[in-house]
């Protein structure tokens, strides 16, 4: 079945550091891939998405490229801010309209001023 594996946290960085959160997936066919973010005490919000190989999703300075050859969708940001502290979830949806979204276990990111 479909699955998502993401980097375990917590990840702690200093402000303005470079961020990478790894995500790899297993799926048949051509799934859509997502990164969601959860700020403390809130629900999840879509951060970015990519629906086909080599697509790059981007939002708020974050980027992720859909790499079919390595089955990866790593999240990157060039210079993190304290306000980026949150839990980040990688997710996958299979091609079939009946497929459910599969979420990774989440990676907690803390940014030090």
- 50 contacts 64 by C-beta, under 8 angstroms: yes
Which of 40/113 has CB closer to other proteins? 40
Which of 31/74 has CB closer to other proteins? 31
CA–CA distance, 28 with 12 (Å, rounded to integer): 34
Residue 65 forms beta bridges with which residues?
A: 56
Q: Which positions lie near other proteins, rule CB under 8 A? A: 30-32, 34, 41-46, 49, 51, 89, 93-97, 99-101, 103-106, 108
Strand ranges (E), 60-106: 62-65, 75-77, 86-93, 101-103
Which of 56/100 has CB closer to other proteins? 100
- In the complex, least distance from residue 38 CB atom to other proteins, rounded to whole angstroms: 8
């Amino acid at each position: 079945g479909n699955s998502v594996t993401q980097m375990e946290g917590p990840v702690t960085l200093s402000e303005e550091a470079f961020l990478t959160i790894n995500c790899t997936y297993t799926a048949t066919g051509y799934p859509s891939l997502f990164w969601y973010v959860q700020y403390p005490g809130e629900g999840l919000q879509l951060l970015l998405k990519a629906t086909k190989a080599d697509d790059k999703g981007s939002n708020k300075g974050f980027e992720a490229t859909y790499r079919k050859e390595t089955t990866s969708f790593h999240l990157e940001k060039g210079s993190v801010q304290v306000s980026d502290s949150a839990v980040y979830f990688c997710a996958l949806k299979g091609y079939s309209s009946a497929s459910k979204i599969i979420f990774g276990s989440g990676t907690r990111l803390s940014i030090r001023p």
